Amino acid sequence: MTTDECTVFELRQYTLHRGRRDELIDLFDREFVESQEAVGMRIVGQFRDLDRPDHFVWVRGFRDMESRAEALEAFYGGPVWKANRDKANATMIDSDDVLLLRPPFDGAGFAAPDQPRPGRHEEPSPTRITAAVHRIDPAAEDASVEAAVDRLRPELQARGLRPLALLTTEPAENTFPALPVRTGEHVLAWFAQGEVDAEAIASEALSSPIQTLRLETTARSRLR
């Protein structure tokens, strides 16, 4: 499965015990990348939050909601998670801050990666990523979202940022309730390569961001 075949994404933000982020990242990059992709997910990227030293942020994608349920069942019921879950969970305070997202129109999701994932023993230079989450009208149609995106793109490009994805809330019911997701929210989330004050690029079509994430890629993040 290539990333552009994904129609569902999760933006996952974990609060960790103080000083244990690198421990989780080492475990994640070693054990949880290929093992999740082997059952049908796409690990889009994993990041350190530059403003919150005890937060780990990552994004994964799925072909659709039905295959999401199948992939999550296979992974969390499988041998790799069972062998490593105690070590992973020991680093975490909370793992329930999850937005379930979808591309509102063709081409809005994360593009297929144009480079291989760094190997386990590589140490590539980290890349900065900016992400922002805006609240939107739950009644907004995809055309309205696309119009907002058309206003946002030139704002990003004028500041030298490369848009990576523009996603809205996936309204479908959570198909794997063992992993909670945030509900009752309607958002537009964008991701761009580079670093900028997201407040400065909010346009008339978008409210000010309710959250801005300044992120730095981990060694094995494929999104860079």
Q: In the chain, what percentage of residues exceed pLDDT 70?
A: 97
* pLDDT for the residue numbered 165: 94
* pLDDT for the residue numbered 102: 96
Domains, the chain, ordered by start: 3-217 (3.30.70.100)
Which of 42, 129, 59 lies closest to 99, judged by CA?
59
Cα 196 from Cα 183, distance rounded (Å): 28
Q: How many CA within 13 A on the CB side of residue 39?
A: 20
Ranges in the chain, pLDDT < 70 = 1-4, 204-205
Burial of 60 (0-12, 13-18, 19+ CB in 10 A): buried
Q: For the whole prediction, is pTM greater than 0.85?
A: yes
